[in-house]
Amino acid sequence: MQNLSPKLSVAGDAPESVAGHPAWLRLKDAVEALRPLQSKDGSIDLAAVQRHSVDPLVETVLGSVAELAPLFPQDAAYLEAVQADLRKWADTGYREPDFLDSLLAFEPNAQREDGLEHLVVFPMYTQNGNPDRNLEAVLLKVVWPEWIAELERTRFDNPGYLGIAFEDFTAGYDTNSAVLFPETVAVRKAPERFTWGGIFCDREAARFRAVTTSTVRQLGLEIPADAEGLLKDQERAQETFVLWDLVHDRTHSHGDLPFDPFMIKQRSPFWMYGLEELRCDLNTFKEAVKLEAEGYAQGRDVQYAVLFDRMFRFPVSGDRVRNYDGMGGQLLFAYLHKNDALRWRDNRLSIDWARVAEVTNQLCGEIETLYREGIDRPKTAHWIAAYQLVSKYLTPHPASTWAKGPEALPLEITEEKALKKALCDAVLPDEFPLSMFFEALSKKLSGVIAETKGITGTSPQGVAA
Report whether 206 contacts 457 (CB < 8 A).
yes
Phi, psi for residue 348 in degrees, rounded to 5: -135, 140
Question: Residue 280 corresponds to which amino acid?
Answer: C
The residue type found at 136 is E
Q: Is the pTM of this model over 0.85?
A: yes
pLDDT of residue 5: 32
Q: How far apart are CA 61 and CA 86, in angstroms?
A: 9
**CA-based nearest residue to 219, from 334, 345, 353, 357:** 345
Say how far apart CA 209 and CA 240 lie, in whole Å.
12
Contacts of 267 (CB under 8 A, 6+ apart): 420, 421, 424
Alpha carbon distance 25, 10 (integer Å): 27
- Per DSSP, the three-state class of 387 is helix
Please compute, for residue 382, the number of CA atoms within 13 A of its CA located in the half-sphere on the CB side. Answer: 24
Closest-CA residue to 281 (of 238, 260, 252): 252
pLDDT tens by residue, 197-243? 999 999 999 999 999 999 999 999 999 999 999 999 999 999 999 99
Beta strands 161-169 and 179-180 are unpaired
Q: Most confidently modeled of 6-15, 17-26, 262-271?
A: 17-26
What's the chain's Rg over C-alpha atoms?
23
Do residues 169 and 135 make contact, with C-beta atoms less than 8 angstroms apart?
no
pLDDT of 401 above 70: yes
CA 310 to CA 328: how far, in whole Å? 7
Number of Cβ within 10 Å of residue 92's Cβ equals 12
- Cα–Cα distance for residue pair 209/13, rounded to 1 Å: 27
Q: What is the arithmetic mean of pLDDT over 62-79?
A: 98
- Displacement of CA 243 from its chain's centroid (Å): 13
Question: Could you tell me how many residues make up the chain?
Answer: 465
DSSP 259-285: --HHHH-----HHHHHHHHHHHHHHHH
pLDDT at residue 23 tops 50: yes
The whole-angstrom separation of Cα 233 and Cα 215 is 17
Q: What percent of the chain has pLDDT over 90?
A: 91
DSSP 398-431: TT-SGGG-GGGS-TT--SHHHHHHHHHHTS-TTS
Q: CA torsion sign, 330 to 234 to 117 to 171?
A: positive
- pLDDT score of 261: 55
pLDDT confidence band for 462 (50 / 70 / 90): very low
* Average pLDDT score over residue span 271-298: 97
Instruction: Give residues with Cβ within 8 angstroms of 48, minimum separation 6.
Output: none
Distance CA 230, CA 284 (A): 18
List Cβ neighbours of 207 (8 Å cut-off, separation of 6 or more): 178, 313, 452, 455
What residue ranges do the domains of the chain occupy? 19-195, 256-455
* CA–CA–CA angle 41, 45, 51 (5° rounding): 125
pLDDT tier at 264, thresholds 50, 70, 90: low
pLDDT digits (tens, 9 = 90+) for 306-326: 999 999 999 999 999 999 999
Cα–Cα distance between 115 and 24 in angstroms, integer?
19
Per-residue pLDDT at 10 exceeds 50 = no
Q: With a cut of 60, say whether residue 285 has pLDDT above it.
A: yes
Answer whether residue 3 shows pLDDT above 60.
no
Answer positive or negative: Cα dihedral of 51, 57, 63, 68.
Answer: negative
Q: Taking 50 as the threshold, does the pLDDT of residue 112 lie above it? A: yes
pLDDT of residue 267: 86
Phi, psi of 333 (to 5 degrees): -60, -50
The amino acid present at 28, given as its one-letter code, is K
Is 215 within 8 Å of 441 (Cβ atoms)?
yes
Looking at residue 213, its pLDDT comes to 98
79: left (phi over 0), alpha (psi -120 to 50) or beta: alpha
